[in-house]
Structure 1
Amino acid sequence: MRLEIATGSRFRRNVPFEADDSVAEFLFQGSEQRYVGAYTLTMWENRGKENQTVVDRCDAFCLVACSCEESAESADEPNLDVETLELGTSNLETGVPGMSAYELFKEYNPGSELTEEQYAEAPVQAAEAALAMVEQLEKTEASVTKAEHTREQAEQGREASERARATAEQARVTAELQRTLAEQTRVTNESSRQTAETGRQAAETKREENTSEAIRNCKTATQEAEDEAARVRTLADNPPKIVEVDGMAYWAFYDLETKQYVTSQYRADDGTIVQQVEGSAVSLDVKGGTMYVCGELTSLTIASVENSTQPSIIRFTSGATATQFSYQDDFNITGWTKPEENRNYTICVLFGAGNMTYDE
């Protein structure tokens, strides 16, 4: 809140006040009452700022030069205290006997060339000069007031600009923070992409290696299968046969390396059965008597026995590969030794009573 008092363009200033409920109380000092005429009071709220409001009381009071200029209405104004000085009956003298002012001036300034008329006009000229000076002061004060008002407006504009600058700076800081976070995210994503690309290249290299290895293994397995099939076909085309040596019958087996039949030590005229087997998971049906199982195999299972004769001895001699030997639980097999893996054995299964001579 701001209270302003003014009379025309000659006098304008802010005055302090105190609030008594809804009444503003202030003092207008007599030392400031230099100009006669009507005075206006203006109450400002938020002057020069947002939500500015103003109310004026025109002709709030009027200063007069003498009491005879008081109006009758002034005495009836309820909010205005009018004081007058009443002088009692007395004799007023408008002068005192003695030297005039000019005579006193000449007495103390005998060298002055001022005439009495010039001396009399000097106060008037001085008053006019003073009045001109006062008017100039009023103009200067009005200029100062206007300049102050302009300064206040400029200050308000500066404050608004500063607030706008601070807001823009905050927005810039926020945008910079967002840019930094976005850049960090981009760097992280790029690192993840590079890692993923490295992993993809490694996986592609591994896939190519695995493909090459699988192709090589496939070729190797195919070749081994073809070789095995060829070997089996050769053995099937050349089964064991009986040959006569010195008037006695022996079993002869086809040798894949020499591609010729080789006579074995097994007699063919004493009821010995010789069976050549090939491949893995071979299931053998025992026909009875003495049976020699010859060939390369990875496992052998005694599936059945034709008569009640129980096996009594199982021996392994070199000649065939044996990684697994199994038999059914109802066979009473004794005295056998489990073969070692990845070694060559010839499997000899002996049934019936009696003894058998073999090479360990």
Structure 2
Amino acid sequence: MRIGKEFSVRWTLTVNGERTDLHSLPVTVILVYPSGRRKQMDFTAEGDELLIPVNRDVQKETGVYRLEAWVNKDKDGQTVTDCCNAFSLVERSCQESDEQTGSDVKLEQEIVLSTSNIQMGVTGKSAYQVWIDNGNEGTEQDFLNWMKQPAEQSAAQALSAARQAETSSANANEKAQQAQSAASSASSAASEARQAASSASSTAEEGNKLIEDLKKYEEALSGIPLYENAGETNEINI
């Protein structure tokens, strides 16, 4: 295409080999100049096609231009596909030729590119299909229910363990209360024993004092002379 002519590029994209409405994807289109400079392009999505206007203010160089179609650019899951020979700009209209671009010029103002494929994620069988291939039967909902079973069983086991822990805690609290009551009873019994021992000690001291007093009394009595009869006169000899 002669430089200075405004035209559009129509580019069909498939996703993992399937036709996809490109409105549902975060697509970014980059135009790469022959010199390597880059420019993000505006475009319109029409189903699985991108319509990219190439205005005169974009046309800065002659030579072969490349287009890049990015999905999730600069984000997780980023992927890209290229059209390495999207179009070529020449200095004169006499140099225009379909053979230079490898494109099929539908109209003078529109270049139709070959379909490119964007590879997203890991391709292969779905988890449901692998489940079926392993001898299982059922719908996708049956597969989802089967997938949920381990989580539901784990949740039930966790709930049972929590209830057992709650019961054990209640039993432990009851035992602790019983132990506290027993300790209180033992403390009361010890106090009563101390009081009884104190009373016994006091009684023992009183008994010892009484014995000492009796001994003193006995000693005093042993020093008194005996009385003897002295005839009819009832005289007492001392």
TM-score, normalising length: structure 1: 0.26
- Larger relative contact order (C-alpha < 8 A, sep ≥ 6)? 2
Larger Rg: 1
Q: TM-score, normalised by structure 2?
A: 0.38
